[in-house]
Structure 1
Amino acid sequence: MNTPNISAVILAAGKGTRMKSDKAKVLHELFFKPMLHHVLDTVSATDVGHMAVIVGHQRERVLASLAEPPASYTFSPVIQEEQLGTGHAVLCAESACASFDLVMILCGDTPLIRPETLQAMIDQHLASKTVLSLMTTVLDDPFGYGRIISNSQGGVVEIVEQKDATPEQQAIQEINAGIYLVDREFLFSTLQQVGTDNSQGEVYLTDIVSIATEQGHQVEKFVHRPAIDVLGVNSRVELAQAHNELQIRHNQKVMLSGVSMYSPESILIAPDCQIGQDVTLHAGVQITGASVIGKKAEIASGALLHNCQIGAGAVIGAHAVLRNCTVEEGEQVKPLACCL
């Protein structure tokens, strides 16, 4: 299979009113970086060859965050002067995507999406030879999400929003995850046809599905479970849930490398830390910065370590607070010790 020529369009222009914040939604941090950075990291780990980031609200701050170390993203910034809907946002990226065959569209508020999920969608799309693939998922309570209307062949016929859905359609649990992979020429020619005759006066990206169907195209769906991977972050509650999910994912990797954790849901380890084999971490431990923990060390409950070098076999007492410290091999640090 030939390597696809794909540009990703990442929607990051909105304000995010439900966050109740003066800060743009995509700049809210979880698991050590803004949520938009998590999305760019994921896209960068796939066969996507180019990224266009649509910015609008607080665009100077959003673009500055993508240029600040350690961020080193290569992307094309695209300005959406007025927030006139998702379809309009994608239209703004037409020039940035001009030299690509396919366009992947996703939102900058989906920090839990995994590279392997996007790559599997790309592979399925290329095999199907369709003009449009749409990611879907299934929710026990789909209230508020666009429902997927499918045909007898399993293709997507239409996306019906909550407010427009009949009682029968509202009972559908398969929903639009908001991630698309589209033939570039079809995408931009179709968006030119989408009007703004709706209650919001906006260009709806979802309209490209019904237009594709009307033109006789089979719209493929890529169904992904679990749903949490693809859902957006729209509130502080969902931000905390997403942070916890990334924390647990990282801790699982650390444990599989040979580290013991008691109450891993309470342990926070920054991605740049190195934890040796047979280390034991007790509840409430936080290890941040670029800390290195040597083999067979033990970190007692509630200890906080930042940019520390901990020797093999060392023991750090409960609730010790260490910053920029070196602990020698086999050394014991008393509980409540403080080294700043």
Structure 2
Amino acid sequence: MGFIVTILAGGEGKRMRSTTPKVLHLFNYKPILTRVLDAAISLTPDKIIVVTGKYHNQIVKVLNKYMDTCGITFVEQAVALGTGNAIQCCLDHYTDDDDVLILNGDMPLVNESVIHSLVECQRSLKPCGTLVTATLENPEGYGRIVKSGELFEIVEEASCSPQEKDIKEVNAGIYLFHADILRKCVPVLSNENSKGEYYFTDVIRHAFDLNYKVNTFTIPENLNYTIRGVNTPEELLDLETLFHTVCFTEPSVTP
């Protein structure tokens, strides 16, 4: 059984209003993507896959220094058709008995202890998949966790009803799945939604339809800031300011 980390870095990042790929913008003097990669390396996976897109060459150039130490495999997503399509592009790199951790490449504060705990949770409880959630006072912009008994689904904000928008438990964008489940569920994803994209989050519903168990792993509220991604220059500045505040108040946080 192998352990593979897949980092999604193929988004165009148009809201950054920059010719620099979103994931290569500097966060405390380091490219955002390299911070996510460092967290992945801490897990000592058998393989790390980085999904690229329009900015493939620039990303490969920046990550070149990592090639000798962790053997990155680059997978190019030819057209930006969503996170589900990004994983579709990776399926040939998985074998059925692999465990696959999926991270977003635009989360500079992704927390190593959270993903280590996620891996431990998955290995002890043995569901087909586990995703990280957080409980936020202001959940705007995040997919909501809509529960019905032991079942749940992730509803992207653009598709939420007014009642669903009031839900405070949100998808953190970190997932751990058995590869055989991905092979069964990803190819049947639909792009019939407001954005015309293939959402990876729909894998949850398909897994339940096949009677597989998927768990949630909710992070402590004091770590909610670690799931924040970067979409605009303003968000980048705001998150850097928060980061320096946290570093000052919590010396254990690494700059």
2:140 aligned partner, one-letter code: F
Q: Hey, what's the Cα distance between the residues in 2 that align with 1:130 and 1:48?
A: 20
The 1:142–1:246 alpha-carbon spacing in structure 2 relative to 1, beyond 3 Å, is: closer
TM superposition shift of 1:99: 7.3
Could you say which residue in structure 2 is the equivalent of 1:79? 76
- 247 and 71 in structure 1: CA distance in 2 versus 1, 3 angstrom threshold: farther
TM-score (norm 2): 0.90
Q: CA 1:251–1:73 in 2, change beyond 3 Å: closer, same or farther?
A: farther
User: For residue 61 of structure 1, what is the aligned residue in structure 2?
Assistant: 58
| 1:118 match | 115
Q: Which residue identity does 1:50 align to in structure 2?
A: K
What is the aligned partner in structure 2 of residue 182 from structure 1? 177
**Higher relative contact order (CA closer than 8 Å, sequence separation 6+):** 2
RMSD: 2.3
Q: Does 1:6 align with 2:12?
A: no
**Take 1:209 and 1:54, find their aligned partners in 2: how far apart are those partners?**
21
User: Residue 200 of structure 1: CA displacement?
Assistant: 2.3
Q: d(CA) in 2 for partners of 1:199 and 1:167?
A: 16
Q: Give the structure 1 partner of residue 131 of structure 2.
A: 134
The answer on whether the counterparts of 1:76 and 1:96 sit within 8 Å (CA) in structure 2 is no
Output the CA distance in 1 between the equivalents of 2:117 and 2:11.
Answer: 28
Structure 2 partner of 1:204: 199
Q: Cα offset for 1:100? A: 5.5
For 1:205, the aligned partner's letter is F
Q: Secondary structure at the match of 1:67?
A: helix
Shifted more, 240-249 versus 48-57: the winner is 240-249
Q: Determine the C-alpha separation between the residues in 2 that align with 1:49 and 1:114.
A: 20
Name the CA distance, whole Å, in 1 between partners of 2:74 and 2:95: 14
Match of 1:223 in 2: 218
What's the % identity of the aligned pairs? Answer: 31
Structure 2: distance between partners of 1:145 and 1:192: 24
1:162 and 2:182 aligned: no
Runs of 5+ unmatched residues, structure 1: 257-269, 272-340
Equivalent AA in structure 2 for residue 150 of structure 1: K
Q: Is the 8 A contact 1:135 1:180 kept in 2?
A: yes
Whole-angstrom CA distance in 1 between matches of 2:243 and 2:67: 19
The answer as to 2:23 corresponding to 1:26 is yes
Instruction: Give distance in 1, aligned partners of 2:95 and 2:17.
Output: 37
User: Which of these residues, 31, 39, 42, is aligned with residue 39 of structure 2?
Assistant: 42
1:173 aligns with 2:173: no
CA contact (8 A) 2:130 2:216 kept: yes
Find the aligned partners of 1:76 and 1:99 in 2 and give their Cα distance.
18
TM-aligned CA deviation for residue 70 of structure 1: 11
**One-letter amino acid of the counterpart of residue 22, structure 2:** K
Amino acid in structure 1 at the alignment position of 2:91: E
Shift of 1:227: 1.6
Count matched residues: 252
Indicate how the Cα distance of structure 1 residues 176 and 50 shifts in structure 2: closer, same or farther if over 3 A, else same. same
Letter of the 1:165 partner, please give it.
C
Q: 104, 110, 113: which one pairs with 2:101?
A: 104
> TM-score with structure 1 length normalisation?
0.69
Contact 1:10–1:106 (Cα < 8 Å) also in 2: yes
Give unpaired runs (5+ residues) of structure 2: none
Equivalent residue for 2:239? 242
